[in-house]
Amino acid sequence: MHKKIPDRTVRWGMIGAGDVCEVKSGPALQQAAGSELVAVMRRTAELAEDFAKRHKVPKWYSDADALIADDDVNAIYIATPPGTHHELTVKAASAGKPVYVEKPMARTAAECNAMIDACNNAGVPLYVAYYRRALPNFLKITELLDTDKIGSVRYVRIELNQRPTPPLVRTGDVNWRVMPEQSGGGYFYDLASHQLDFLDFALGPIESASGVASNQAGLYAAEDIVSGTFRFASGVMGSGTWCFSSSAASERDITTIVGSKGEIRYETFCGDTATVELETDTDGLESFAFDMPKHIQLGLIETVVDDLLGRGECPSTGVSGARTNRVMESICQRQDESRSSRLL
């Protein structure tokens, strides 16, 4: 049984204050009911101080250990690259503080398992920032599935093609997303993790997966193309191709869920608006449009806060986040060969 926050307010300490924190998550920690952002940390003191001043955060640190030890902080948000997630989660858990960690949860499934164990041993909850589980367009998809709009689901097909242009390929700075020692992999780990995690949420866990990964363009060390197949515990089949060195003409982001009575089509990575398409044998094509929230993690962060205060439940936990890492490892053939291909 995990300990909940005994106070009436979750007082966050945020480790890392990069781009993702400026709009997506940092302000959301301040806006959720019963939530405050009371401290921020970056290794460069001037940047930490600048973020704190601009966002009206009372405290700032250049040392993660000092932030974790702050008695005013009763929950930790880890917004650093995946290479530090395991170490920081263990430290936060050892201090008795719940953890909300960015995605992907870690570089490897083994690190994910160690994070889960550390939090379980400390009796604190662990959440992962797969925020699509709480966005309105994705909740519409789950509603369409739950109300049998496309009948029995048969298979899922994912296609994601992107050109190797900024921000995918950068010059003059360090792009940790394509450094496997920091990220676990390339853009497949960064982007496909969102797609695979949502399918876990919508259709249940994936029980087996396989695939191949390669580096075709040679622009960085990580893989830039991945092709995989997978099977859900329910019997639904799935496949995907992720190419990060395509042409402009080939750019696309489309996931199709095919059922016995129709199909659902949607983009995972949209701008300010999103569209979900439903096409059935009886009613033809319907489209549902959604405005995306400015602070896109707010919906999920609200569920984290509600969970910590004992008034709700968060749908994205360390257990579900670890499943996504295991699936990605299996598709990229990175798992320990002694492990079974079954992932549950």
pLDDT in tens, 195-204: 999 999 999 9
Same domain (yes/no): 83, 168: no
Same domain (yes/no): 279, 140: yes
Tokens 């704190």 appear where? 52
In this structure, are strands 10-15 and 35-41 parallel, antiparallel, or unpaired?
parallel
For residue 104, say if its preceding peptide bond is cis, omega within 30 degrees of 0.
Answer: yes
Same domain (yes/no): 35, 79: yes
Same domain (yes/no): 151, 175: yes
Mean pLDDT of the 61-70 span: 98
Please report the pLDDT score of residue 1 as a whole number: 54
Q: What percent of the chain has pLDDT over 70?
A: 94
Here the CATH number for the domain that contains residue 283 is: 3.30.360.10
Please report the pLDDT score of residue 172 as a whole number: 56
Please report the pLDDT score of residue 340 as a whole number: 39
Mean pLDDT of the 12-20 span: 94
Same domain (yes/no): 117, 143: no
Please report the pLDDT score of residue 284 as a whole number: 98
CA neighbor of 100 nearest in space, from 317, 330, 329: 317
> What residues have CB less than 8 Å from 167, skipping those under 6 apart?
175
Q: Could you tell me which residues are beta bridge partners of residue 230? A: 209, 238
Please report the pLDDT score of residue 165 as a whole number: 80
Mean pLDDT of the 120-141 span: 98
Task: State how many domains the chain has.
Answer: 2
Confidence of residue 338 (pLDDT cuts 50, 70, 90): very low
Work out the mean pLDDT of the chain and round it to a whole number: 94
Here the CATH number for the domain that contains residue 68 is: 3.40.50.720
Residue 340 lies in a domain: no
pLDDT tens digits, one per residue of 296-324 = 999 999 999 999 999 999 999 999 999 99
Residue 343 lies in a domain: no
Residue 45 lies in a domain: yes
Instruction: Report the 10 Å Cβ neighbour count for 136.
Output: 14
Confidence of residue 166 (pLDDT cuts 50, 70, 90): confident
Domain that holds residue 98: 10-131+297-313
Instruction: Report the 10 Å Cβ neighbour count for 219.
Output: 15
pLDDT of 341 above 50: no
pLDDT tens digits, one per residue of 93-114 = 999 999 999 999 999 999 999 9
Residue 235 lies in a domain: yes
Q: Do 272 and 282 touch, CB atoms closer than 8 A?
A: no
Same domain (yes/no): 153, 119: no
Q: Do 96 and 69 touch, CB atoms closer than 8 A?
A: no
Tokens 């797609």 appear where? 195
3-state DSSP helix/strand/coil percent for the chain, to nearest 5? Answer: 35, 25, 40
Same domain (yes/no): 101, 142: no
Residue 344 lies in a domain: no
Residue 119 lies in a domain: yes
Same domain (yes/no): 57, 82: yes
Same domain (yes/no): 167, 266: yes
pLDDT tens digits, one per residue of 2-15 = 667 777 899 999 99
Same domain (yes/no): 148, 271: yes
Residue 281 lies in a domain: yes
Reported pTM: 0.94
Residue 3 lies in a domain: no
Same domain (yes/no): 156, 224: yes
Mean pLDDT of the 225-238 span: 98
Same domain (yes/no): 66, 24: yes
CA neighbor of 203 nearest in space, from 257, 151, 159: 257
In angstroms, rounded to a whole number, what is the distance separating the alpha carbons of residues 58 and 43? 17
Q: Which two tokens stand for residue 168?
A: 């995918």
Confidence of residue 335 (pLDDT cuts 50, 70, 90): low
